[in-house]
Amino acid sequence: MASNENSGSESNSGAASSSTSKDGETPTQIQPFRMPTVEEVRAQDVWNNCVVRSVASGVMGGGLGLFMGMFLGALDNPIMQDEMTGRQQFIYTAKQMGRRSWSSCKTFAIMGLVFSAAECVTEKARAKHDITNTVVAGCVTGGTMSAKGD
């Protein structure tokens, strides 16, 4: 009975190996581990700096806020739209886009800077990279943004 089971498993494994050779597939080889170069290590050290990471996040947040403000400012309709000429509506919309984009730019830049700085500092202080750092950074950012409104 045991010899029957072994012969069945051998025939199955032989069929599996013959099917891979028929398809022409070669088994995947594990690539050797490549050590990072000196330049890669230096670049990683730069991006691990909390100040660099925070400033980059603030700049990217400001850019996002700029475009969102322009988009949302373009959607504003003037109150007296029926009484305004096309040129007046265009000027009003352009001014609204400028105001909204600058306001959103500042807000998103501050949010990005504060969130990234809080997350980085929390991560370095705890010496862990987990979701708790993100939660703490979110709380700090929310508190900062609400305190700024007063």
Lowest mean pLDDT among 14-18, 83-87, 109-113, 128-132: 14-18
Q: Which residues contact 132 (CB under 8 A, 6 or more apart)?
A: 122, 126
Residue 57: what pLDDT?
Answer: 95
Q: What is the model's pLDDT at position 24? A: 65
Instruction: Report the pLDDT value the prediction gives residue 148, as an integer from 0 to 100.
Output: 64
Contacts of 78 by beta carbon, 8 Å cutoff, 6+ apart: 84, 88, 89, 92, 93
φ/ψ of residue 57, rounded to 5: -65, -40
Q: What is the pLDDT of residue 13?
A: 47
Nearest Cα to 105, choosing from 130, 72, 143, 79? Answer: 72
